[in-house]
């Protein structure tokens, strides 16, 4: 069926949603009806609007019904009772969440439904706390305002890994996109007790675990001035309260960004990764005399910080550096408190830099590496702990996310905010900054320049163009990149490795994800990974070189990567 065929069918059968489709251009039709929206290990994520490839009540309902069929088929993934449902501040999030709740109630599942928006780590916690079979979270995390999404959690509180995700996708392919809505409405199911609301009691249970985890690292936060922004998202619900309960009495919130708003009116992108998103926070910090700023993305799984330098300006460090420093500080504080178990483990993703791994090994930790995404990190955490191979103390990845403790199984900006503020206050007490701590770590383990580049591929067939680039590189591995010889390549889809001096391909560590990694001469590295949620190719660059040369070296590597996808 062509996009135009699907478009005509949509116009005939989509009911109230058929109206907006009438004004679509040919280009919009080609993109919005280019097959069925993809359900993967990140669930759904797409631009909202009419279309089989878009986020709307039809595709959301289709996904919920597919999940309802998959749950009893996969007890190893969905082993509890009922489904927990949460949502964030984006447009249509409440509508999509109620649509899922009605579908699950119709299928016979007891539903626990958060009465209002909540952070992503809290639903991960709630699934485990209440013994649910699954969780659904309506969020597009840090994506632009046009997007929304649907994440699915298993009974372990982690997002789905490939096998159960494929089971849900298979049921989506079997169903008719235009089946009638549930006969039982959300309000009726609520009145009949099939849906139960969650509120303050769950918040209290979640916050108590956050603070319990941070207790061995408690610092004197009284008088320490903190500026916080949730970028119009869910962090406003719990992060200021968590900091106050930890003793912070000088928390200044960016009031313009405290109100939940899916249009994100004060920022171009609701992503703490971008320095420009912190403009209002910096202005507030200057007014109140704060040297420390923290910001969480709309679903509060990502967090970024800024600190005031000696020159009075604010620095926005990468999370490669921040996460590494936080890990070393957290591990050291646990050791001083006598809380470190035998065989402690640091867990990180393949795109997270070497600094944290070097620090872990120096402190007697083992360092485990997984594919990108906390679904893999938490699955490996559970596997190795059940096998008695160690205890994961801290997990993080470069995309501004980390997890400490055992209370949830996803990136957690709530717990991270508490730990980061305690660390910053302790540094300030000694007259030091986060920048000093980062430089100390480089002094111990060597400087490594790192950069992430995202190349957006626009127009119809964008994802296929990216896939073609990856396939071409597999068919003919490059002998050089950015003027440097390729010493070794690793294909993580096939689990093989090779190089110009290798007689044959050899098995490598990880297998099953569309990732290519190249080790180049001069200590440089390039990793390529298509985004699972957007038509983007993510390129991760690294260079072991003197800091003064890093800008030039990274620019050369980036130029090579950008040339992979020419304009259509």
* Catalytic residue ranges: 141
- Euclidean distance between CA atoms 392 and 210, whole angstroms: 16
Q: Please tell me what DSSP assigns to residue 209.
A: H
The DSSP bridge partners found for residue 304 are 295
From the list 59, 65, 60, 151, the residue with the least C-alpha distance to 374 is 151
Angle subtended by helix axes 120-129 and 413-429, to nearest 10: 120
Q: Are 171 and 66 in contact (CB under 8 A)?
A: yes
The answer to whether the beta carbons of residues 166 and 382 sit under 8 Å apart is: no
* Helix or strand holding residue 168 (H, E): helix 162-174
Question: Three-state DSSP class for 78?
Answer: coil
- For 494, phi and psi rounded to 5 degrees? -95, -10
Q: How many Cβ atoms sit within 10 Å of the Cβ of residue 512?
A: 13
CA 133, 136, 142, 143 torsion: positive or negative? positive
DSSP H helical ranges for 14-157 = 18-21, 26-32, 57-73, 93-106, 120-129
Tell me, rounded to whole angstroms, the distance of Cα 179 from its chain centroid: 32
Residue pointed to by tokens 């109140």: 288
Kindly tell me the sign of the dihedral angle through the C-alpha atoms of 2, 9, 103, 298.
positive
DSSP code at position 518: E
d(CA 87, CA 105): 17
Q: State which H helix or E strand residue 198 sits in.
A: strand 195-198
Tell me which residue of 422, 447, 440, 448 sits closest to 557, measured CA to CA. 448
Q: Could you give the maximum distance between any two Cα atoms of the chain, in Å?
A: 69
Place of tokens 């000088």: 250
Task: Write out the two tokens for 123.
Answer: 């639903």
Helices and strands in the chain, H and E counts: 18, 23
Neighbour tally for 57: CB within 10 Å = 17
Closest by CA to 352, choosing from 298, 309, 411, 426, is 411
Quick check: 33 and 10 in contact, CB under 8 A?
yes
Residue 263 contacts residue 145 (beta carbons within 8 Å): yes
**Phi-psi region at 7: left, alpha or beta (left = phi > 0; alpha = psi -120 to 50):** alpha
Cβ–Cβ < 8 Å for 45, 59: no
């Amino acid at each position: 069926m062509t996009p135009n065929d699907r478009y005509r069918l949509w116009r005939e059968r989509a009911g109230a949603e058929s109206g907006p489709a009438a004004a679509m251009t040919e280009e919009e039709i080609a993109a919005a009806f280019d097959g069925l929206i993809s359900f993967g290990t990140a669930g759904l994520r797409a631009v909202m609007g009419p279309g089989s490839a878009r986020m709307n009540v039809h595709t959301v309902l289709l996904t919920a019904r597919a999940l309802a069929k998959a749950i009893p088929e996969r007890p190893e993934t969905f082993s509890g009772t009922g489904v927990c449902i949460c949502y964030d501040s984006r447009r249509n999030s409440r509508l999509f969440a109620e649509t899922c709740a009605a579908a699950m109630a119709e299928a016979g599942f007891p539903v626990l439904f958060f009465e209002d928006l909540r952070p992503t780590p809290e639903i991960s916690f709630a699934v485990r706390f209440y013994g649910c079979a699954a969780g659904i979270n309506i969020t597009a995390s840090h994506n632009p305002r046009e997007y929304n999404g649907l994440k699915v959690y298993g009974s372990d509180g982690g997002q789905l890994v490939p096998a159960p995700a494929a089971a849900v996708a298979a049921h989506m392919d079997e169903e008719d996109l235009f089946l009638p809505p549930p006969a039982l409405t959300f309000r009726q199911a609520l009145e009949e007790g099939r849906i139960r609301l969650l509120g303050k009691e769950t918040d209290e249970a979640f916050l108590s675990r956050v603070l319990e985890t941070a207790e061995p690292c408690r610092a004197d936060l009284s008088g320490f001035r903190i500026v916080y922004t949730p970028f119009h998202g869910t962090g406003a619900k719990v992060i200021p309260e968590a900091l106050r309960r930890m003793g912070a009495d000088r928390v200044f919130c960016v009031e313009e960004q405290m109100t939940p708003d899916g249009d994100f009116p004060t920022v171009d992108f609701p992503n703490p990764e971008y320095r420009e998103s912190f403009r209002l926070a910096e202005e507030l910090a200057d007014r109140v005399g704060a040297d420390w700023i923290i910001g969480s993305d709309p679903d509060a799984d990502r967090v970024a910080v800024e600190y005031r330098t000696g020159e009075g300006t604010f620095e926005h460090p990468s999370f490669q550096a921040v996460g590494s420093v936080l890990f070393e500080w957290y591990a050291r504080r646990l050791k001083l408190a006598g809380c470190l178990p035998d065989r402690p483990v640091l867990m990180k993703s393949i795109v997270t830099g070497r600094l944290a791994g070097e620090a872990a090994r120096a402190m007697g930790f083992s360092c485990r590496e997984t594919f990108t995404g906390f679904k893999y990190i938490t699955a490996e955490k559970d596997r190795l702990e059940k096998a008695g191979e160690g205890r994961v103390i801290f997990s993080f990845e470069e995309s501004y996310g980390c997890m400490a403790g055992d209370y949830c199984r996803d990136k957690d900006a709530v717990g991270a905010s508490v730990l980061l503020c305690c660390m910053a206050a302790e540094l300030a007490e000694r007259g030091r900054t986060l920048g000093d701590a980062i430089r100390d770590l480089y002094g111990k383990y060597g400087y490594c320049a790192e950069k992430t580049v995202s190349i957006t591929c626009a127009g119809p067939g964008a994802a296929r163009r990216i896939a073609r680039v990856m396939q071409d590189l597999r068919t003919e591995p490059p002998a050089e990149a950015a003027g440097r010889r390729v010493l070794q390549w690793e294909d993580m889809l096939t689990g093989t490795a090779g190089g110009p001096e290798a007689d044959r391909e050899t098995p490598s560590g990880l297998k099953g994800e569309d990732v290519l990694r190249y080790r180049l001469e001069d200590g440089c590295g390039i990793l390529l990974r298509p985004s699972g949620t957007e038509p983007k190719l993510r390129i991760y660059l690294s260079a072991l070189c003197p800091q003064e040369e890093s800008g030039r070296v990274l620019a050369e590597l980036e130029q090579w990567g950008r040339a992979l996808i020419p304009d259509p």
